[in-house]
Amino acid sequence: MRGRALAGALAALGALLWLAACGPRAAVREPVGATTDPAALDRLLRQYNAAPEAVRLQGRLRADGKGSADFGARARRGEGLRLDAVAGPFSTPVLSLACREGEGGTCEVYLPTRRTAYREAWDAWGPWFETLLLGRVPRVGSPTEAWIYPDGRRVLVLEGAGGWRQEVAFAAGTGLPQRVSLSQEGAPRLELAYGQYAEVEGHPFPGRVSVRAGGAEGGYELEFRRIVPDASLADGTLTLTLPPGTAVRGSEGLSQWNQAPFPVWRLPRPDG
């Protein structure tokens, strides 16, 4: 893969939560099974999301049809995250992403091959990345209904302002999140899949999380090969130090270096 193509593909990590469908389509919904208590499933989801508070990760990022890269990352609930990716036989840096929460918090995506950084406010997509790197499920809205299929799978439906609807499917037997879909006014916006769970300090943590924008061709996958609880976080850990001469642009530039020709859109902030 050419360096430019790989850099563009990995840079899309910074935009993958912003991708929209090329045209709205009606969300496809499976036939509803027997109804069950949504409050009970909401408690199950909140319990799952309660831990961990902080992790260090090593893994691999894959973009369908575009390439892959190894990454190291760390995330702490309520503080932010940092991810650095390298590719090729010489571990060439291709992407750095840092988000810091709090007053004046920002997210920055740095592309070394272009000597360019893209900067956005924390609330734009920082909470989503933090949630995903912590292995949790972004939770949007309030529980409205739930059902259970004959094979034991359970589905929780949450609805929020602005026409947002979220369905969280729990695997039969384990009760662990398996698939999450998010739509707005009936149009699919985002789909997440969780799998290959492992225990981290007594709590389940997915070994794989895949991300696909509604209506988009291709998707992205995060494979977590090493997951370590992170008890300490030194100052400056979640901050990028940009080399002299780096061009800094706003998020409006994301569509220029993202290879996929999708318009930019925003997701509601997850609330747990």
User: Which range, of 54-68, 90-104, 106-120, 225-239, averages the lowest pLDDT?
Assistant: 225-239
SS3 state of residue 8: helix
| pLDDT level of residue 87 (50, 70, 90 thresholds) | very high
Condensed to tens digits (0 to 9), the pLDDT of residues 227-262 reads: 998 767 655 678 888 999 999 887 665 544 343 333
Amino acid symbol at 152: G
**Whole-angstrom Cα distance, residue 170 to residue 45?**
9
Q: How far apart are CA 124 and CA 133, in angstroms?
A: 16
What are phi and psi for residue 155, nearest 5 degrees? -130, 130
pTM above 0.95, yes or no: no
Cβ atoms 190, 182 nearer than 8 A: yes
The residue length of the chain stands at 272
Helix (H) / strand (E) element for 60: namely strand 54-63
pLDDT given for residue 60 in this prediction: 96
pLDDT over threshold 90, residue 223: yes
Dihedral sign computed on CA atoms, order 182, 17, 58, 65: positive
The answer to whether the CB of 12 falls within 8 A of the CB of 260 is yes
Alpha carbon of residue 93 to chain centroid: 21
Q: Considering only residues 75 and 10, tell me which one the structure prediction assigns the higher pLDDT.
A: 75
| pLDDT for 23 | 34
